[in-house]
Structure formats: C-alpha cells, structure tokens
Amino acid sequence: MMRTRQYAQQLDQEDTLQHFRTEFYTPNNTIYFDGNSLGLLSKRAEQFVTEVMNDWKNHAIDGWTLGHHPWFYLAEKLGKMSTNLVGAKPEEVIITGSTTTNLHQLTASFYHPKGAKTKILADVLNFPSDIYALKSQLAQKGYDAHTHLIQVPSADENTLKSEDIIAYMTEEIALIVLPGVLYRSGQILDMQRLTKEAHKRGILIGFDLCHSIGAIPHSLSEWDVDFAFWCTYKHLNGGPGSVGGLYVNQKHFGKTPGLAGWFSSSKEKQFDMGHNLTPANHAGAYQIGTPHVLSMAPLLGALQMFEEAGIENIRKKSLQLTAYLMDLIESELAAYSFSIANPKQDDERGGHVLLLHPEAARICRALKANGIIPDFRNPNGIRIAPVALYNTFEEVWQMVHILKTIMEKESYKNYENKRGVIA
C-alpha cells in the first residue's frame, strides 16, 4: 500500500503546504526536480517585480525613498524577511551582492593572517567558486594556495566527517569556510559543533548556505557563527541571478569592511559625500555597490511565502518527500545499479537525493525527454530535489516509475553519456 500511487495521493491530501503549489509556474507541464539549482517562478514574485517596475515608472529617481518598496531600504527589508531562515537578528542579515562577491567581501574582512596563523581551511567537496575565491584572496595577501589553502579530504568522495574537519583545525589556521550543506551529496555539516571547535582554537568560521537556506532551519546567532553567505535562486526561488545574502555576527559590528564601497556607508552619512567612510553599524556595512533593485524584487514575493509557510513546516515535508523518494528507489530500482549517495539520516540529509549511476548523464537526458527535470552532476551523479512548496508525493511516485520504465526498456541508450554545456 505504501508504494502505490494511491498512497502518494493520500499523502498529498494530508499535506498542510499543498496550497502553495498553485502559486508556482511549472514549465511545459513537466515534473520539476531541479529546485536546488534554480527554483520555480511564483506568481507573487512576478507580482512584486511588476510593483517595483511601476515604482520606477511612476516615481523615477524618487523611487529610492517613495513607492511601495523604497529602494534605499530594500536590502535591509529583505534581510529582515530572511532572519527566520538563518536564525539571526534582523541587523545581522543583509541581501546584497552574489555568493562569490559576498565570500570575497567576508574573506577580505575576516582573514587576517598573523604569526603562525596564515592558512585557510576548506574542504575537497566544496563548490568550485568558493575555492576560486579563497585562492584569489590568498594570492592578494601574497600566499601560495598550494600551501596555504588546506582542504579536508573525503573518505568516500561524497561526505565529510566532523572529526576529520576538527583534526585539521591546527594552530596554522586563521579562517575556516565550509558549506552548510554539500552541494553534491546534500550532507548537512554540524555547523554548531564545528563553530564551537573552531572558536576553542581561536579560529573564525563561516558557512556557505547556498544549498541549505530555505531547505533546513539554522540558528546562526545561537551557534555563534562568525559569518555566512548564500544565493537566493535555489530553494528561495528568487530567480536566475537574484541577489545574494550574507550574515555577520553582531560581535563583529563596528569594523571597517575589507572591501568598502558606496553602500557600506551608514545611511545617515552616505549622502554627506565625505571621502572617509562611516560604516553602517550592522551587516549593511558589508554591502559594496548599489543594490540590484530589479533582481531583488522577486524576493519580496518569494520570502513572503517562506514567512507564511514556516521553515520548520517546510523542513518536515522535505524530509518526508526525500524519505519517500529513497524508499521507492530502493524498492523499484534495486535491479538497475543505482546507489543512494546522500546521508539517509534525517539530521544529516538536506533537501535533495543524490543517485549515482555509470550512465547518469544519458539517464538524465532520457528523464528530460519524458518530462522529468533532474540535475546531472559530473561524472555520475543525478540530483533529485523534491521541493516542499511546489512538489508532490505523487510526482515523486511518477518520477520513480518513469525512471524504472527507462531502465527496463534501456531507452537511455538513445542518448550520449556526456553532460551538456550546463549540466
């Protein structure tokens, strides 16, 4: 009974978040399981883009202080709307920049090599752009990344052990940057424990939340995390290239940011036009340039839905969806050489499932041809993200049975086993 379509439909009827599904546009009647790469457009996001455009139309330059959503204060407004997602105080969060720009800013602000402490600790499974930025920051300080960027290894090439990370927190480490959730396997790192261990050793620590924000709850302030940064176009559904976000613990307020700019300024002083920066006394000090207002507009609608749904409710349904997906994979696809590479424990699993298969690229192509949108990760990974706000249990059931048919008929062999330009 538990693996029938009728059971999936019953779960959907019991879902307290089901009404949010009607708020989203699904492309070409497909079943979309790639929300951990790019979330779907919602009607509310669309509505708020129109409102911001109308403010531009009706107020021109005065849109900075007038209209429905005055642009001069929009970064702070959206930051406040994000606080429950990261577990922070409103003044500790700002919506600004991009993931990599924010990492550059935070590294420039918090990486201060001194004495024996000159190295940065990361990991071998981190998203490449984070590593590019850290290497670049080391070079700016005159250090060789080969010797000064330390990367914690993985025993299985998919997950990390807290004990291994802690063992690398040596006297030479000045700064630690790790993902909250690993982009490939979906493993949740123990951010609270790692922060505590870093601080015991006098090391500052920050987290990349790109694959965790909007998928799992956080308590950054309570955990005493020094800083964090994230994108908003995955689980937060902010749209392609939507503006990123960052968190800075209030204990670091009052410092001049490493990369100062126009919007680093205190708003009361900004238009005095003085050449000596007076940094904002909150996370806004870590902004650099003028806010990208039109790319922030969708977040007004997207974050509103998160406020209404509640991250705890989203997490509960997300765990149910991924657990149901794994159960169906193990029961229906056991004969086809798939392996589940993400953690199965609830407290260690983020918002997606990682399937490994030697023919992963062509299987993804076959799924797309059958109206299922997964995500391929080189060389052999299929990421499947059933998103709580718009995916259903019946869609999970459908996807597994379509995949089973593809494997039974070997129709995946009609496609090349190589990734596209964008995987």
Do 283 and 359 lie in one domain? The reply is: no
In a domain, 328, yes or no: yes
| Cβ pair 224, 192 in contact under 8 A | no
| Cβ pair 74, 293 in contact under 8 A | yes
Q: Where are the alpha helices (DSSP H) in 333-382?
A: 360-369
Domain CATH for 387: 3.90.1150.10
Tell whether 100 is in a known binding site: yes
Tell whether 153 is in a known binding site: no
Amino acid present at 36: N
Tell whether 130 is in a known binding site: yes
In a domain, 419, yes or no: no
Domain CATH for 218: 3.40.640.10
Q: Which residues pair with 31 in a beta bridge?
A: 372
Tell whether 211 is in a known binding site: yes
Q: Please name the residue that has the structure tokens 């700016």.
A: 140
Q: Does a cis peptide bond (omega within 30 degrees of 0) precede residue 379?
A: yes
Residue 367 has, within 13 A of its CA and on its CB side, a CA count of 25
DSSP 41: P
Tell whether 235 is in a known binding site: no
| Cβ pair 210, 230 in contact under 8 A | yes
Do 223 and 278 lie in one domain? The reply is: yes
In a domain, 320, yes or no: yes
243/368 Cα distance (integer angstroms): 29
Given 308, 329, 352, the domain boundary residue is 308
Structure pTM? 0.97
Tell whether 73 is in a known binding site: no
3-state secondary structure of 259: coil
In a domain, 423, yes or no: no
Tell whether 397 is in a known binding site: no
Q: Where are the alpha helices (DSSP H) in 271-416?
A: 293-309, 311-332, 360-369, 393-409
**How far apart, in Å, are the Cα atoms of 324 and each of 3, 255, 344, 391?**
9, 47, 11, 13
Instruction: Give the domain range for residue 172.
Output: 48-308
In a domain, 38, yes or no: no
Do 184 and 320 lie in one domain? The reply is: no
Each residue's pLDDT expressed in tens, for the chain with a length of 423 residues: 678 999 999 999 999 999 999 999 998 889 999 999 999 999 999 999 999 999 999 999 999 999 999 999 999 999 999 999 999 999 999 999 999 999 999 999 999 999 999 999 999 999 999 999 999 999 999 999 999 999 999 999 999 999 999 999 999 999 999 999 999 999 999 999 999 999 999 999 999 999 999 999 999 999 999 999 999 999 999 999 999 999 999 999 998 999 999 999 999 999 999 999 999 999 999 999 999 999 999 999 999 999 999 999 999 999 999 999 999 999 999 999 999 999 999 999 999 999 999 999 999 999 999 999 999 999 999 999 999 999 999 999 999 999 999 999 999 999 988 877 776
Given 273, 288, 308, the domain boundary residue is 308
Q: How far apart are the first and last CA of the chain?
A: 36
Strand order in the sheet with 119-123: 93-95, 245-248, 227-230, 204-208, 173-179, 119-123, 149-152
| Residue 295: alpha-carbon gap to chain centroid | 17
Q: Phi-psi bin for 17: left (phi > 0), alpha (psi -120 to 50), beta?
A: alpha
Do 95 and 242 lie in one domain? The reply is: yes
- Token code pair at residue 201: 């050793």
Tell whether 56 is in a known binding site: no
Do 304 and 318 lie in one domain? The reply is: no
Do 228 and 249 lie in one domain? The reply is: yes
Given 285, 308, 331, the domain boundary residue is 308
E strand or H helix that includes residue 200: helix 191-200
Do 275 and 322 lie in one domain? The reply is: no
In a domain, 89, yes or no: yes
Do 72 and 9 lie in one domain? The reply is: no
CB atoms under 10 Å from CB of 151, counted, come to 15
Tell whether 159 is in a known binding site: no
Q: Which of 413, 393, 419 is nearest to 336 (CA)?
A: 413
Do 166 and 27 lie in one domain? The reply is: no
In a domain, 420, yes or no: no
